[in-house]
Amino acid sequence: MRGKAVPLARYLAEEAIEGLVACSCIGNEVCIDLADTRILVSLVDVADVLRLNFHMVQDGPAKPRSWSRRLPAGTGPRETASRIALDVRALERELAPLRRRPPRPVPGAAQHRPG
């Protein structure tokens, strides 16, 4: 059985997502790679809605974050792709200031390094 994400590929390619490096649609997941950011979108049918679960990680100062959107059941792939692209563009606008001027460490604050 084909996942819900596969039909989105064509429509996501038509969306003007600035900085798009790669996009894959497999099963019920869409993975969008920008230069320094990865966004994973899971598509989940819940009752009479289509829930889009977003998870973002950035190779930079932004902390990982997750959020979700609900679309009416039966929303077509073009509308779903448009909603995903809208969220990605909004996220890009939010991250732009961090890319231009990353936050500086606070003097005297302990620096935590993973590992």
| Segments making up each domain of the chain, as ranges | 8-97
| Contact between residue 93 and residue 74 where contact means Cβ atoms under 8 Å apart | no
- What is the pLDDT, as a whole number, of residue 106? 61
**What average pLDDT does the segment 69-78 reach?**
93
Sheet of 20-26, strands arranged across: 20-26, 29-34, 37-46, 49-58, 65-72
Residue pair 70/49 in contact (Cβ under 8 Å)? The answer is yes
pLDDT of residue 112: 54
What is the CA angle 21-68-13, rounded to 5? 30
pTM of the model: 0.81
Hey, which bits of the chain come out as E strands?
Answer: 20-26, 29-34, 37-46, 49-58, 65-72
What would the mean pLDDT of 3-31 be, rounded to a whole number? Answer: 89
For 24-70, write each residue's pLDDT tens digit.
999 999 999 998 999 999 999 888 999 999 999 998 888 899 999 99
% of the chain surpassing 70 pLDDT: 85
Picking from 20, 1, 18, 19, the residue whose alpha carbon sits closest to that of residue 9 is 20
Residue type for position 35: A
Residue 111 has pLDDT above 70, yes or no: no
